Amino acid sequence: MIPLSWYLIFAAALFCIGLFGVLSRKNAVAILMGVELMLNAVNVNLLAFWRYLTFENMAGQVFAVIVFAVAASEVAVGLALVISVYRRRQSIVADDINLLKY
Amino acid sequence: MSPLQLIFILVSAITLGAALMVVTTRNMVRAALWLVLTLFGVAILFVLLEAGFFAVAQVIIYIGAIAILMIFAIMLTRRIAHDPGPQINTTWPIAAVIALVVFGLIVFFVQGWEKTVSQPAPFPPGFDPLRELGVALVSANQYLIPFEIASILLLAALIGAIVIAWDKK
Amino acid sequence: MADPVTFIGQWLESIFAGWGLSSAWISVIMAALGVLVLSGSVLLVDILLVWVERKVVARFQDRLGPNRLGPFGLFQPIADVIKLLLKEDITPQGADKFVYNLAPILALATVIILWAVIPISVTVVGSTINVGALYIVAVGAIGTLAIIMAGWASNNKYALLGAFRMVAQMISYEVPMVIAILIPVILAKSMSLADIVASQSVWYIVLAPIAAVVFLIGAQAELGRAPFDLSEAESEIVAGFHIEYTGMKFGLFYAGELLHALTFGGLFATFFLGGWRGWGAETYPILGIGYFFIKAMFMYWVIMWIKYSFPRVRIDQMLNFCWKFLTPLILTVLSITAILDKLMSGVPYWIYVLVMLFSNLVILYFVYQAVGRYARKERQKVADPEKVQVNFRVRSSTPSQAS
């Protein structure tokens, strides 16, 4: 069937693509999309380990459920912040939000 | 090659391709739609992992709520007569190098690990992962407390998002 | 010939095994064939629905409906399809071509894939996943995405506004609808639709009437039909999110909307009216198919009845109704159903049925009192005569001084 390493390599690739997106994009919403990709990669990893190694122990699934909840709340608060910043500064380019810099 | 392996390779190729389009495309709404395709690919992988509940939860939560929220946020924060400019930082080669190095390290360690089984053990008869998950989430000696704390976290995020985005006129 | 579908399926499998294919490939081929047959038959029923809709709306409005083409106007949908295919296909300038073309396909596809989990008879069900009820919610979520894509890709601010309002309405009414789906899940102790139908020895509309009504209201809002059709309100916003679509693309949206209504009729029949259950349906599965379609068509007729009898509600009234009335009501019903289900775990079934029905009627009584009080207060605010400000200026001398 499908070896576990295939799932792990896929999750690693998705995580690194998300990492590249976070580090190299200017738009704040695009950075949040990169974070979502990373969280999805983590979920795939957790569920692959749960299925292949310890499917009697529900810890893997419960962890994945909590990651779902955390991702949803983080996106909600993050986008509320983005919209609030847009109302004040008319821009959501991450470089322009630099009032706290030096 | 068995059909399952073929499906896995096809789905993961499409998902990774869509993820690359998410992080490189200039038009933000297109990026959101590629993100939807990526999330759908991950949902299909959850089905291959016999975690059916997570596949539908992924579609409901990520595609049905988070992706739509992102599309709304993009549409509300767009300046119509505005030149988008370069959407990518000038330091993007360093980011690419970091991403490739992390990927290489993870692949190296995965290949060298002795526990990468090639086939999952089949479920014992009568084992229903959905039922076990439900029992685990509400049993006092299992994971009840993280479940309740996650509910409080969601409530805090709900209230926080409303308060932050409130338009004080 | 009691079970034609299974008979044909087994005959095909024996042919494929005779050709020497491995069993993994046989199951893949059978699944693909099943997908083709199911979506094909669903789309054929969709064509019939165009005729049903036009005849029924005509009868509600005291006229005849299509009666020229064929007996009773039965060939009217074919004429409609030919007309739509021959229309000019316009793409608005500045529209995002790929998304613009993908949106109607996605809107129709998300309706067809709902039929994969509905049990049509004892042996005919597309896929027996154990999270069927949640799958329905997930597919509804993809449907809202198709509407946003249609509204945005049209490059038209009215389309975008219509799409936003429609999506706000859909995601608001998904909440009470999903919770109303949870109540049959609690009663049947399983999320799989096949199990829910199999455990309805007493139809769930008797055990949970409030949940049935809330599901019907939620379905009416999900479908975008009156009284919740402000996204297609012709006097307000022209045609909503599908203004810029012509010809067969509009046909896909229209067919998708009708099929969606029949699908929700089928879902209501599955959750609350016992699905394929009826006299003799276990031994003769073909009778089960007949019972299911009769029930689904009846509920489709009820949905049309509601559509053609009510005026439109405003968007703020609609959202208030959802969040301030339906959601607390259905959450109360859910908690009470769950508590009663746990308390009555060993009790004979007829007492269970009566207690559930009685609890629903008690909740209904309290709701009636609360709504009556609220309505009385609203009427009072409107009916009180306004107190008129009267200024009396006291004159120090009489007006006629110079007499």
Tens of pLDDT, residue by residue over C66-95, are 888 888 888 888 888 898 888 888 888 877
In order of A4, B119, C81, the CA distances from C67 in angstroms are 63, 63, 17
Burial class (CB in 10 A: 0-12, 13-18, 19+), B101: exposed
Neighbours of chain A (3+ CB pairs under 8 A): B
Between CA A76 and CA A70 the distance in angstroms is 10
Tens of pLDDT, residue by residue over C251-293, are 888 888 889 999 999 999 999 998 888 887 777 888 888 899 9
Burial class (CB in 10 A: 0-12, 13-18, 19+), C64: exposed
> What ipTM was reported for this prediction?
0.89
State mean pLDDT over C181-204: 90
Give the up-direction half-sphere exposure of residue C198: CA atoms within 13 A in the CB hemisphere.
14
State mean pLDDT over C56-70: 86
Tokens representing residue C162 in the block = 């219509």
- Determine the distance from the C-alpha atom of residue C338 to the mean position of all C-alpha atoms in its chain, rounded to a whole number: 25
Task: State yes or no: pLDDT of C217 exceeds 90.
Answer: yes
* Contact across the interface for A26 and B86, Cβ inside 8 Å: yes
| pLDDT given at position C403 | 45
| pLDDT given at position C98 | 85
In order of B81, C198, C342, C348, C363, the CA distances from C337 in angstroms are 55, 20, 9, 17, 11
Tens of pLDDT, residue by residue over B120-165, are 777 777 788 888 888 888 888 888 999 999 999 999 999 998 888 7
* Contact across the interface for B52 and C130, Cβ inside 8 Å: yes
Tens of pLDDT, residue by residue over C234-248, are 555 566 777 788 888
Q: Which residue in C has a C-alpha nearest to residue B72's C-alpha?
A: C164
| d(CA B75, nearest CA chain C) in Å | 9
| d(CA B52, nearest CA chain A) in Å | 11
Which residue ranges of chain B lie beneath pLDDT 70?
A: 1, 79-87, 116, 169
> Which among C138, C145, C152 has the least Cβ separation from residue B29?
C152
Decide if C100 touches B, using CB distance below 8 A: no
Chain A residues with beta carbon closer than 8 angstroms to that of B123: 55
Q: How many contacts (CB atoms, under 8 Å) link A and B?
A: 245
pTM: 0.88
CB-CB contact of A85 with A67 (8 Å) = no
Of B75, A87, B167, B84, residue with least CA distance to C157: B75
| d(CA C387, nearest CA chain B) in Å | 32
- Write the DSSP assignment of C166-194 as a string of letters: HHHHHHHHHHHHHHHHHHHHHHHT-S-HH
Find which of B30, B54, B109 to mutate to test the A interface (most A CBs within 10 Å of its CB).
Answer: B54
Task: State yes or no: pLDDT of C379 exceeds 90.
Answer: no
CA angle in degrees (0–180, nearest 5) for A53-B63-A42: 30
Of C61, C63, C52, residue with least CA distance to C308: C61
CB-CB contact of A58 with B143 (8 Å) = yes
* Contact across the interface for A1 and B142, Cβ inside 8 Å: no
Residues 6+ apart with CB under 8 A from B43: B55, B56, B58, B59, B62, B63
Give the up-direction half-sphere exposure of residue A24: CA atoms within 13 A in the CB hemisphere.
24
Tokens representing residue C257 in the block = 């909307």
CB-CB contact of B19 with A14 (8 Å) = yes
Q: Which of C200-204, C227-231, C396-400 has maximum average pLDDT?
A: C200-204
Residues 6+ apart with CB under 8 A from C45: C259, C262
Find which of C101, C147, C149, C182 to mutate to test the B interface (most B CBs within 10 Å of its CB).
Answer: C149
Calculate helix-pair angle for B68-76, C157-188, nearest 10 degrees.
160
Tokens representing residue B7 in the block = 């499906």
| d(CA A71, nearest CA chain B) in Å | 9
**Using only C-alpha atoms, what is the Rg of chain A?**
17
Of B92, B25, C103, residue with least CA distance to A29: B25
Residue C362, number of CB atoms within 10 A of its CB:
11
Look up residue C72 and give its DSSP letter.
G
Is the preceding peptide bond at B93 cis, omega within 30 degrees of 0?
A: no
Chain B residues at the C interface, defined by Cβ less than 8 Å, are: 2-4, 29-30, 33, 36, 52-53, 56-57, 59-60, 63-65, 67-68, 71-72, 75, 128, 130
| pLDDT given at position B30 | 86
| pLDDT given at position C232 | 65
Chain C residues with beta carbon closer than 8 angstroms to that of B60: 134, 137-138, 141
Task: State yes or no: pLDDT of C388 exceeds 80.
Answer: no
Of C128, C121, C120, C127, residue with least CA distance to C283: C121
* Contact across the interface for B71 and C160, Cβ inside 8 Å: no
Summary mean pLDDT of chain B = 86
- At residue B121, what is the residue type? A
| pLDDT given at position B41 | 95
State mean pLDDT over A38-61: 89
Chain B residues with beta carbon closer than 8 angstroms to that of A39: none
> Which among A3, A72, A77 has the least Cβ separation from residue B65?
A72
Q: Is C398 left (phi over 0), alpha (psi -120 to 50) or beta?
A: beta
Between CA B108 and CA B106 the distance in angstroms is 5
* Contact across the interface for C145 and B128, Cβ inside 8 Å: no
* Contact across the interface for B12 and A10, Cβ inside 8 Å: yes
* Contact across the interface for B130 and C130, Cβ inside 8 Å: yes
- Determine the distance from the C-alpha atom of residue C55 to the mean position of all C-alpha atoms in its chain, rounded to a whole number: 20
| pLDDT given at position C338 | 93
In order of A69, B39, B40, C131, C138, the CA distances from B55 in angstroms are 15, 10, 9, 10, 9
Between CA B69 and CA B55 the distance in angstroms is 20
Tokens representing residue C85 in the block = 């295919």
Between CA B35 and CA A17 the distance in angstroms is 12
Decide if C25 touches B, using CB distance below 8 A: yes
